[in-house]
Structure 1
Amino acid sequence: MIQCMDQNGCLVQLRLGEDFIVEPEHVLVFCRFEQEWLVTNHCNRGLEFPGGKKERGESLEEAAFREVWEETGAILSQLKYCGFYVVNEIDHEFHKAIFFAEVIDVEQKEDYGETTGPVLVKQFPKTIKHDNRYSFIMKDDVLPATLSWLKREGLIT
């Protein structure tokens, strides 16, 4: 388990390669398209991987496919569960499942919900924690730890 504090001062506990104990209500999807990372530009937070809350009756996988489509217009070929993390806020905690996805295609849409749509990134800056273009979600240890895990698993080079 990896523990860190996020930009809001909340304790984050990351467990990669482990099954969840409490079923997550949120998903985060690390998307890869033609050797680049596919992120979305959230209107308030900035660049981040697509994700969000699972809807009633929806599986985590269905939520991941839907969130990626809604926020980027991407069509996924595969989805691999990577692990989960727990964010401990002052009055509650929430659990988020992490997936890795290969993207087949990105279709242009008229509406991307609360985002302005897809953005391709070759690599993330080493100074991402201080880069105002990126969401706070990308600035804790979840991003580098998950990227390292994906490399060890042979999912990325």
Structure 2
Amino acid sequence: MYTFQDYYHNHVKLSFKDNPFTDKPGHVLILCRYKGQWLFTKHPRRGIEFPGGKVEAGELPREAAVREVFEETGGTLSSLSYIGQYKVEGRHETIEKSIYYGTIAGLEKQKHYHETEGPVLFKQLPKKLKEDSRFSFHMRDEVVEMSIQHIKALFTI
């Protein structure tokens, strides 16, 4: 279990164990690869970030991950693996998110990318990601950095 503060100084707990906080998380985060590149989406206010979002009523987290990737990037997943979970204890609410790693089979151009501006591809992440103003605040804490390290330890990328 890892603990730290996020970009907004909220208390965060991160674990790479199976559902350490809840078996019904309200949100998902999906770190994706497509043809040897990292697949992101561009949120109009926050900036570049990995796809993710809320788990809808009656939906399983895994189903939400598939839906969010498609809605935000047009990406169709060929594989999806659970990586871990994190919990953000904010001033007004607590959020639990399951983290997935996905491989994209193809990108389908969409007329609308549900709350985003569509897919963004990077061969490599910027070395100073936390300082890169193009990226969302979601990309500036240890969740993404540690999740990528965990993915690299588990998968050949």
* TM-score range normalised by the length of the shorter chain: over 0.9
Aligned partner of 2:78 in structure 1 is 77
Aligned partner of 2:96 in structure 1 is 95
Contact 2:21 2:96 in 1 (8 A): no
State the secondary structure of the residue aligned to 1:97. strand
State the secondary structure of the residue aligned to 1:123. coil
Aligned partner of 2:14 in structure 1 is 14
Aligned partner of 1:44 in structure 2 is 45
Equivalent-residue separation in structure 2 for 1:20 and 1:89 (angstroms): 18
Which deviates more from structure 2 when the two are superposed, residues 62-71 or residues 122-131?
122-131
Contact 2:21 2:85 in 1 (8 A): no
- Are residues 1:156 and 2:156 paired? yes
Equivalent-residue separation in structure 2 for 1:3 and 1:18 (angstroms): 17
Equivalent-residue separation in structure 1 for 2:21 and 2:145 (angstroms): 23
Alignment of 1:3-152 (within 5 A): 3-22=3-22, 23-152=24-153
Is there any run of 5+ residues in structure 2 with no aligned partner, and where? none
Displacement of 1:5 in angstroms is 1.1
Hey, which bits of structure 1, 4+ residues long, moved more than 4 A? Answer: none
Equivalent-residue separation in structure 1 for 2:20 and 2:75 (angstroms): 26
Aligned length: 156
Equivalent-residue separation in structure 1 for 2:63 and 2:33 (angstroms): 18
Is there any run of 5+ residues in structure 1 with no aligned partner, and where? none
Give the structure-2-normalised TM-score: 0.96
Contact 2:41 2:50 in 1 (8 A): yes
CA displacement, residues 63-120 of structure 1 (integer Å, 9 cap, x when unaligned): 0000000000000011100010001101221100000001000010010021100000
State the secondary structure of the residue aligned to 1:116. coil
Amino acid at match of 1:107: E
Give the structure-1-normalised TM-score: 0.96
